[in-house]
């Protein structure tokens, strides 16, 4: 019985130890679970605070950006109102000066002459000039548009604010103006549009005089043209006002030579046998960038073709220059024929 009682006590002690270990294990797991939950809540709380901080920063930046834009808009409005005020003051001054009585207003002859020429094309030796009084406007307020189809130019001047002073008028271009070289300047309240004049074609009297000179020079054994330099053949030679191209066409008459513009910005020279025979010469020559193809001329004498193309006058860029807008040109599919050989006679005809 003593042995059985010992075994029973031992069994009870083991059972108590097992229960104690199970309880400790349960508490440990519960503690670990609570620790994991605490860490998870701390991480979520950190993320929430970070999100809130980022949102506050975004709102602050948005507010600063809004205030900056509002300040810029107010500054632009203030400047626009100042410009409008200046324009109104200038208009009032012009109105008051126009209503001044003759007893208190005097105008010099030169000023009166300039005033009479405003708004009309004035011609000098090389250019057509149009002056327009646009006092009170700025250069940035102007739009100058050229219409090649209708051969006219339009001028629009609009103040910086709606309802401000406005000017619009169309002016027909002179028939002999070189449209590609037109430029404009605005200075001291006056817009000046300058259109270079197209060189005049040689008259019949000039042609006859050249023919007589050629005949007389040949009779006395003199030369009426510059010596032909073979090194310069087929090359554009530049002088003060023109580009000159010389080509030797042996065995071809003047009537069988054709000079034609092409779409690549150059000219094509063709020389045929009489009566539409085979082509003996067919070459293209690229024009210099400052050449004016519209004013090209040519002559043929002593088997030498001479093509002369004037230089374009390029306007000098300055702070007063006004851009002239041109419509988009339609692409050309064929070259424009320029039969320049009919403008001047062959010097062989003088014989």
pLDDT digits (tens, 9 = 90+) for 52-107: 999 999 999 999 999 999 999 999 889 888 888 887 787 777 666 544 444 333 44
Same domain, 294 and 234: yes
Instruction: Please indicate, yes or no, if residue 324 is contained in any of the structural domains.
Output: no
pLDDT digits (tens, 9 = 90+) for 1-32: 888 888 999 999 999 999 999 999 999 999 99
Same domain, 146 and 226: no
Same domain, 183 and 114: yes
- Domain stops at, among 73, 106, 139: 106
Higher pLDDT, 338 or 232: 232
- Name the pTM for this structure: 0.41
Same domain, 229 and 342: yes
Same domain, 227 and 276: yes
Same domain, 11 and 63: yes
Same domain, 294 and 260: yes
Q: Which domain holds residue 285?
A: 204-311+332-350
Same domain, 220 and 283: yes
Neighbours of 176 (CB within 10 A): 13
CA distance 21 to 201: 123
pLDDT digits (tens, 9 = 90+) for 207-218: 445 455 555 655
pLDDT digits (tens, 9 = 90+) for 145-193: 888 778 889 998 887 666 667 888 999 999 888 777 788 999 888 899 9
C-alpha closest to that of 130 among 148, 107, 149, 153: 153
Instruction: Please indicate, yes or no, if residue 273 is contained in any of the structural domains.
Output: yes
CA distance 70 to 175: 53
Instruction: Please indicate, yes or no, if residue 160 is contained in any of the structural domains.
Output: yes
The number of C-alpha atoms within 13 Å of 118 and in the hemisphere containing its C-beta is: 15
Same domain, 217 and 344: yes
Q: What CATH number corresponds to the domain at position 151? A: 2.60.40.790
Number of separate domains in the chain? 3
- Domain stops at, among 48, 73, 106: 106
Same domain, 144 and 225: no
């Amino acid at each position: 019985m003593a042995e059985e009682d010992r075994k029973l006590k031992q069994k009870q002690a083991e059972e108590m130890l097992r229960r104690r270990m199970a309880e400790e294990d349960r508490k440990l797991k519960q503690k670990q679970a609570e620790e994991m939950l605490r860490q998870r809540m701390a991480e979520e709380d950190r993320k929430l605070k970070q999100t809130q901080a980022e949102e506050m920063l975004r709102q602050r930046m948005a507010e600063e950006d809004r205030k900056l834009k509002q300040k810029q808009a107010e500054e632009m409005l203030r400047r626009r109102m100042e410009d409008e005020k200046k324009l109104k003051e200038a208009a009032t001054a012009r109105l008051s000066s126009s209503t001044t009585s003759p007893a208190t207003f005097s105008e010099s002859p030169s000023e009166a002459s300039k005033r009479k020429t405003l708004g009309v094309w004035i011609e000098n030796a090389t250019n057509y000039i149009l002056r327009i009084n646009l006092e009170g406007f700025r250069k940035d307020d102007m739009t100058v548009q050229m219409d090649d189809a209708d051969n006219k130019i339009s001028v629009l001047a609009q103040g910086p604010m709606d309802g401000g002073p406005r000017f619009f008028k169309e002016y027909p271009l002179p028939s002999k103006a070189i449209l590609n070289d037109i430029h404009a300047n605005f200075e001291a309240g006056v817009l000046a549009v300058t259109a270079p004049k197209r060189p005049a074609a040689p008259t019949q009297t000039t042609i006859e005089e050249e023919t007589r000179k050629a005949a007389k020079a040949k009779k006395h054994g003199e030369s009426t043209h510059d010596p032909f330099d073979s090194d310069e053949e087929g090359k554009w030679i530049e002088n003060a006002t023109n580009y000159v191209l010389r080509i030797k066409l042996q065995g071809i008459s003047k009537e069988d030579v054709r000079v034609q513009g092409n779409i690549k910005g150059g000219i094509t020279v063709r020389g045929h046998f009489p009566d539409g025979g085979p082509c003996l010469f067919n070459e293209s020559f690229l024009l210099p960038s400052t050449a004016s193809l519209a004013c090209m001329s040519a002559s043929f004498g002593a088997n030498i073709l001479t093509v002369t193309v004037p230089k374009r006058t390029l306007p000098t860029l300055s702070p007063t220059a006004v851009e002239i807008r041109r419509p988009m040109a339609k692409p050309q599919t064929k070259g424009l024929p320029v039969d320049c050989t009919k403008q001047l006679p062959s010097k062989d005809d003088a014989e």
